[in-house]
C-alpha cells in the first residue's frame, strides 16, 4: 500500500507540474478562450438485474422534470430491492441518495441517503430496499443523486412493482440475440424468430427489421466485430410483453484494410411463453461514423457510407460548400479550397473513447451555409462533454471557416427529455437575417433574440396537427383555437419580415392548416354540417375547398369540386395530391385522386443524395455535386470552440392548457395529442402505449386481461347513471379523475380501460346508454342504468351494437394517489 501511495504521489506531482507548465505555455501563446472540448467527467449509473448490467443512465447537473424522463424503467419484485452500480470513471463519489416521487413529480414518496458504497472491479455498488408501500402496477419516478467534488449529479429512471414479469429472461434474450447476429453460424437459429418478407430490402444495413432476411440480420458480408459493447435498456414491461433497446459500436475493415465504425441501435419487443420467448418486433439501425482518417472523394461526389438516405445537409447557393450531419457529428466539405472540416463532434480519439462519447441523445440542425463556408447551426439534446456537460438544452452556434472556430451565441437549457426537444425542433427551427431564432419547444412557439439574450412566446400550447411550417422554415401557420374540427381562425407568420396575418373562416365554416408549397400557405375550408362523426365515431374534415395563398392574401390556386369533398391532402415540394370523396350519410367514400403541380419552377439542386450498392456494405450514400471534383485528396481540419460569456437564456416553463396524451412506441416518443382517442389509434397502429401528462398509462397494446368484472360499488355514481355528456361526467367525477372521450376507438381497444379497473359509458341509442363493467372471451358485461341490471352480451353483438351508434365511449383516468 505504501509503495502504491508513494507512486501515486509522484504521478500526482508530475501531473500538477504538467498542468502548470501547459497553463503557462497556453497563456503565453493564446489570449482568447478558444480551446479543445473538455473530456467528460461525469459518472454513469446502471441497474443490476441478476448480475447483468442494464439501464445505463447519464448524469445531469440540472434537476430534470421527472415526468419527462422515460429513458428506462426498472421493475421491482415483492422485496422492493434494487442494486445500483456506479461507474465513477475519474470522479470521486462521496455519497449516494435516492428519491421516489409520483410520476407527475408532485409528491415525494420516499428519500434516503447512503454514505457507504461497496467497491468492486472499478465500480461502486449500492443495494436499495424501499421502505414505503408502492401501489402495484403504478409507475414512480426514481431520482438517484451522486454527491461529487463538483456538486450533485442527478440520474433518472422509472420504477414499477408488478408481478409475473420476466425481466431476467428478456434481458438475456436480447444480449444473446445481438451476439448471435455477429456469428453467421447462428443464421438459421435467428431465422426462426424472424418474419422474413420477400418484399423487404435485402441490401440496406441502415434499416433492418423483423421482416428482413436472416442473412441481412447477421450482417451479410460486412463481417463486423464488437468494438464497444452495449447494455440493455428496459423501455417498457408488463405481465404480457417487454420492450428493450440496446446501443453499441461495431467495427469492420474495408478492402484496403481501413477500419470502419458503425453505431448500432436495436429495439426488441418480446413476449414470454412456456415454450420460448417470442420476438414480436425487431428493428435495427446501423450508421457509419464519418471519419477524417479515410475520406473517399470521387469525380462527382463525397462518400458518406452506410447511413440514412434522408441526409441532413445544406449547401450554399453555388453548391461549392456543403455542411452535413452524420451520427451526431457536423462536417463541411469545401470544393474550391479542397478542405473537409469537422465542425462539431463529441467524439474523442479511439484510444480515449468510452460510451460517454457515443451517447446518441443529441442532434444538430443546420440553419444556413454561406459562400465563404461559414455555418450557423444548433446543437440540441444531452451534452456529452464540454462546458455544458450534463445539461439538456439547445446550443446556438456559428462556425467561422477562415478562423476554423465555433462560437456559441447562446445556450438555452431545458428540463425536458431529448425526445420532447426533438419533437418541437424537428417541426420548426429558423434563424432570420437579424439573428432572431424562431423555434418550437415545450409546445410553445418562441422568438429568441440572440443579441439581447431575450425571448418572447408567440403562441402557447401548440397542437401538433394544427401547426405547419414551410420547408425552409421561413413561414409558419397555426389554428388559433388549436382544434382539428372546430377552428375558425388561422394565424400565419413570416419570420424574415417578422409580420403576421390572420385568415378567418366564414360563418358556418371551419378552417384547417394543411401545409405549405414554397412559402405559400395551403389551408382547407369545410362546412360545419359536414363534420359529424360517422357510424364508427370517426370524423372526417371534409373540405369544400382548398386554397394556396400568398402572404399578401393573393389566392394562387383554389381547388373545389361540385358535389364532392376533399378529404385528404399529401404535400411535397413539387406536387400536392388530393383525395376526392363522395358523401354517404356521415361517411365519405374516396372516388379518385387528383394532383396539383407546383407552378414555380424548381431549380436543379447543386448537391444531391445518390444511392450506391456494394456487395460488402449494401446500400451506401454519396453526396453528388453538380460540378466535377478535381482534387481527390482534401485537407482534413478539426475546429476549436469559443464559448460566449453570459449567453444563457432561461425559458420560463409553461404547462399545457389542457390534458395532453403522449404516444410512445419502439422505445421513443412518437407524438402528442389533445384527443385520447386519436392517441390510442396511433399507439395501436405502432404497437405502443399512451400516457397522460402525469405519465399514467391510458392505454397499452397487448396488456389486456383475458377476463375481468368490476365491482359495481366501485364505479363512480356519474358512470353508474350512464351520463353521455363529457362536461357533466367531469363535474360529477370532480377531483377523482380526468374524463376521456374515447369515441371512434374500437370496442376491443377500449376494453383495456375495463382491464385497468375503469368503467366505460357506451352509447346504445339516441338517449340510451350502458356501462361496460366487465368482459371475458365470449361476452361483455353491461350494466343498464335504467333497469339497474347487469347482463352478459356477446362480443360480436356488442361490437355491432356500439358501432351502429358511432362507437361513442367515455371513461376516465383516476388522479394519482400515493
644-690 residue pLDDT tens? 667 999 998 777 777 899 999 999 999 989 899 999 999 999 999 99
Residue 541 in any domain: the answer is no
Both 272 and 304 in one domain: the answer is no
Both 120 and 217 in one domain: the answer is no
Residue 589 in any domain: the answer is no
Both 175 and 127 in one domain: the answer is no
620-642 residue pLDDT tens? 999 999 888 888 889 999 999 88
Q: Which domain holds residue 54?
A: 44-161
* pLDDT surpassing 80 at residue 643: no
Residue 546 in any domain: the answer is no
For cell 413539387, the residue is 574
* pLDDT surpassing 60 at residue 13: no
* pLDDT surpassing 90 at residue 796: yes
**pTM (2 decimals)?**
0.91
The phi, psi pair for 29, rounded to 5°, reads -100, -20
Both 254 and 212 in one domain: the answer is yes
Q: What is the mean pLDDT of residues 723-735?
A: 95
Both 283 and 320 in one domain: the answer is no
Radius of gyration of the chain (CA): 29
Q: What is the pLDDT of residue 658?
A: 77
Q: 516 Cβ partners below 8 Å, 6+ apart? A: 468, 469, 470, 471, 475, 477, 522, 571
The phi, psi pair for 370, rounded to 5°, reads -95, 170
Q: What is the mean pLDDT of residues 254-264?
A: 95
User: What CATH number does the domain containing 224 carry?
Assistant: 3.10.450.50
Both 63 and 6 in one domain: the answer is no
Residue 725 in any domain: the answer is yes
* Residue percentage of the chain with pLDDT more than 70: 94
Q: Which of 35-44, 207-216, 296-305, 374-383 has the lowest mean pLDDT?
A: 35-44
Residue 208 in any domain: the answer is yes
Both 52 and 83 in one domain: the answer is yes
86-127 residue pLDDT tens? 999 999 999 999 999 998 888 999 999 997 899 999 999 999
Both 303 and 372 in one domain: the answer is yes
Residue 406 in any domain: the answer is yes
Q: What is the pLDDT of residue 31?
A: 34
pLDDT band at 602 (very low <50, low <70, confident <90, very high): low
Q: What is the pLDDT of residue 12?
A: 37
- How many domains does the chain divide into? 5
pLDDT band at 36 (very low <50, low <70, confident <90, very high): confident
Q: What is the mean pLDDT of residues 736-759?
A: 96
Q: Which residue would you say has higher pLDDT here, 199 or 310? A: 310
Q: What is the pLDDT of residue 521?
A: 97
Q: What is the mean pLDDT of residues 16-26?
A: 37
Question: Where are the strands (E) in 149-229, listed by range?
Answer: 151-161, 207-209, 225-228
Q: What is the pLDDT of residue 628?
A: 86
Q: What is the mean pLDDT of residues 774-789?
A: 97
pLDDT band at 16 (very low <50, low <70, confident <90, very high): very low
775's grid cell: 368482459
Residue 273 in any domain: the answer is yes
Q: What is the mean pLDDT of residues 739-762?
A: 97
* Residue percentage of the chain with pLDDT more than 90: 81
Q: What is the pLDDT of residue 353?
A: 84
User: What CATH number does the domain containing 786 carry?
Assistant: 3.90.70.10
Both 391 and 420 in one domain: the answer is yes
Both 759 and 738 in one domain: the answer is yes
For cell 414518496, the residue is 109
Choose one of 253, 288, 323: the last residue of a domain: 288
Q: Which residue would you say has higher pLDDT here, 27 or 505? A: 505
Residue 574 in any domain: the answer is no
* pLDDT surpassing 50 at residue 4: no
Q: Where are the alpha helices (DSSP H) in 327-417?
A: 355-358
Task: Find, among 457, 653, 462, 463, the residue nearest to 65 by Cα.
Answer: 653
Both 108 and 171 in one domain: the answer is no
pLDDT band at 24 (very low <50, low <70, confident <90, very high): very low
Both 253 and 191 in one domain: the answer is yes
Amino acid at each position: 500500500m505504501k509503495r502504491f501511495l508513494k507512486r501515486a504521489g509522484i504521478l500526482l506531482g508530475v501531473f500538477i507540474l504538467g498542468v502548470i507548465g501547459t497553463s503557462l505555455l497556453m497563456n503565453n501563446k493564446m489570449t482568447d478562450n478558444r480551446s479543445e472540448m473538455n473530456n467528460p467527467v461525469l459518472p454513469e449509473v446502471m441497474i443490476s438485474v441478476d448480475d447483468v448490467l442494464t439501464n445505463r443512465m447519464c448524469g445531469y447537473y440540472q434537476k430534470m422534470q421527472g415526468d419527462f424522463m422515460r429513458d428506462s424503467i426498472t421493475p421491482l419484485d415483492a422485496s422492493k430491492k434494487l442494486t445500483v452500480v456506479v461507474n465513477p470513471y475519474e470522479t470521486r463519489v462521496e455519497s449516494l441518495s435516492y428519491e421516489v416521487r409520483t410520476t407527475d413529480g408532485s409528491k415525494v414518496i420516499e428519500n434516503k441517503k447512503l454514505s457507504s458504497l461497496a467497491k468492486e472491479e472499478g465500480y461502486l455498488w449500492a443495494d436499495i430496499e424501499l421502505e414505503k408501500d408502492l401501489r402495484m402496477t403504478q409507475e414512480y419516478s426514481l431520482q438517484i443523486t451522486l454527491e461529487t467534488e463538483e456538486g450533485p449529479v442527478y440520474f433518472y429512471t422509472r420504477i414499477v412493482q408488478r408481478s409475473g414479469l420476466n425481466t431476467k429472461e428478456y434481458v438475456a434474450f436480447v444480449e444473446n440475440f445481438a451476439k448471435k447476429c455477429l456469428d453467421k453460424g447462428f443464421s438459421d437459429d435467428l431465422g426462426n424468430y424472424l418474419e422474413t418478407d420477400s418484399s423487404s430490402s435485402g441490401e440496406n444495413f441502415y434499416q433492418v427489421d423483423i421482416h428482413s432476411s436472416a442473412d441481412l440480420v447477421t450482417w451479410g458480408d460486412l463481417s463486423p466485430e464488437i468494438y464497444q459493447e452495449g447494455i440493455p435498456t428496459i423501455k417498457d414491461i408488463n405481465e404480457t410483453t417487454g420492450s428493450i433497446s440496446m446501443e453499441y459500436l461495431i467495427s469492420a475493415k474495408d478492402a484496403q484494410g481501413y477500419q470502419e465504425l458503425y453505431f448500432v441501435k436495436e429495439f426488441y419487443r418480446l413476449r414470454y411463453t412456456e415454450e420460448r420467448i417470442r420476438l414480436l418486433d425487431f428493428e435495427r439501425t446501423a450508421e457509419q461514423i464519418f471519419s477524417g482518417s479515410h475520406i473517399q472523394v470521387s469525380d462527382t461526389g463525397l462518400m458518406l457510407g452506410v447511413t440514412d438516405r434522408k441526409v441532413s445537409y445544406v449547401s450554399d447557393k453555388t453548391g461549392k460548400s456543403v455542411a452535413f450531419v452524420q451520427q451526431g457529428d457536423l462536417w463541411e466539405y469545401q470544393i474550391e479550397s479542397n478542405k473537409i472540416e469537422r465542425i462539431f463532434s463529441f467524439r474523442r480519439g479511439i484510444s480515449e473513447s468510452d460510451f460517454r462519447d457515443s451517447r446518441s441523445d443529441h442532434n444538430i440542425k443546420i440553419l444556413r451555409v454561406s459562400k465563404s463556408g461559414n455555418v450557423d447551426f444548433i446543437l440540441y439534446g444531452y451534452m456529452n462533454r464540454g462546458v455544458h456537460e450534463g445539461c439538456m438544452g439547445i446550443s446556438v452556434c456559428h462556425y467561422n471557416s477562415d478562423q476554423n472556430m465555433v462560437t456559441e451565441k447562446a445556450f438555452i437549457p431545458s428540463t425536458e427529455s431529448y425526445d420532447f426537444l426533438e419533437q418541437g425542433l424537428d417541426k420548426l427551427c429558423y434563424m432570420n437575417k437579424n439573428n432572431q431564432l424562431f423555434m418550437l419547444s415545450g409546445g410553445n412557439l418562441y422568438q429568441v433574440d440572440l443579441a439581447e439574450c431575450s425571448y418572447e412566446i408567440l403562441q402557447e400550447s401548440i397542437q401538433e396537427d394544427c401547426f405547419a411550417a414551410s420547408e425552409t422554415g421561413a413561414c409558419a401557420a397555426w389554428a388559433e383555437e388549436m382544434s382539428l374540427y372546430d377552428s375558425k381562425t388561422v394565424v400565419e407568420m413570416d419570420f424574415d419580415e417578422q409580420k403576421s396575418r390572420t385568415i378567418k373562416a366564414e360563418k358556418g365554416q371551419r378552417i384547417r392548416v394543411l401545409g405549405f408549397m414554397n412559402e405559400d400557405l395551403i389551408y382547407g375550408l369545410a362546412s360545419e354540417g359536414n363534420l359529424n362523426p360517422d357510424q364508427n365515431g370517426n370524423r372526417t374534415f371534409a373540405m369544400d375547398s382548398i386554397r394556396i395563398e400568398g402572404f399578401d392574401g393573393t389566392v394562387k390556386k383554389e381547388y373545389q369540386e361540385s358535389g364532392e369533398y376533399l378529404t385528404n391532402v399529401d404535400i411535397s415540394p413539387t406536387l400536392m395530391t388530393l383525395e376526392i370523396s363522395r358523401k354517404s350519410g356521415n361517411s365519405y367514400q374516396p372516388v379518385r385522386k387528383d394532383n396539383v403541380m407546383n407552378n414555380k419552377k424548381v431549380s436543379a439542386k447543386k448537391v444531391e443524395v445518390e444511392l450506391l450498392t456494394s456487395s460488402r456494405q449494401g446500400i451506401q450514400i454519396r453526396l453528388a455535386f453538380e460540378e466535377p471534383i478535381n482534387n481527390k485528396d482534401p485537407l482534413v481540419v478539426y475546429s476549436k470552440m469559443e464559448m460566449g460569456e453570459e449567453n444563457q437564456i432561461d425559458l420560463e416553463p409553461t404547462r399545457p392548457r389542457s390534458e395532453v396524451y403522449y404516444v410512445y412506441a419502439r422505445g421513443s416518443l412518437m407524438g402528442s395529442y389533445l384527443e385520447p382517442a386519436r392517441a390510442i389509434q396511433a399507439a395501436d397502429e405502432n404497437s405502443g402505449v399512451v400516457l397522460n401528462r402525469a405519465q399514467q398509462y391510458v392505454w397499452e397494446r397487448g396488456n389486456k386481461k383475458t377476463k375481468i368484472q368490476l365491482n359495481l360499488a366501485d364505479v363512480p355514481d356519474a358512470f353508474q347513471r350512464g351520463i353521455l355528456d363529457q362536461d357533466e361526467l367531469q363535474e360529477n367525477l370532480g377531483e377523482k379523475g380526468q374524463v376521456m372521450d374515447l369515441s371512434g376507438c374500437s370496442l376491443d381497444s377500449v376494453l383495456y380501460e375495463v382491464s385497468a379497473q375503469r368503467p366505460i359509458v357506451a352509447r346504445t341509442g339516441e338517449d340510451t346508454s350502458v356501462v361496460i363493467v366487465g368482459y371475458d372471451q365470449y361476452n361483455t358485461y353491461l350494466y343498464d342504468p335504467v333497469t339497474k341490471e347487469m347482463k352478459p352480451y356477446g362480443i360480436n353483438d356488442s361490437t355491432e351494437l356500439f358501432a351502429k351508434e358511432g362507437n361513442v365511449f367515455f371513461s376516465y383516468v383516476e388522479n394519482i394517489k400515493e
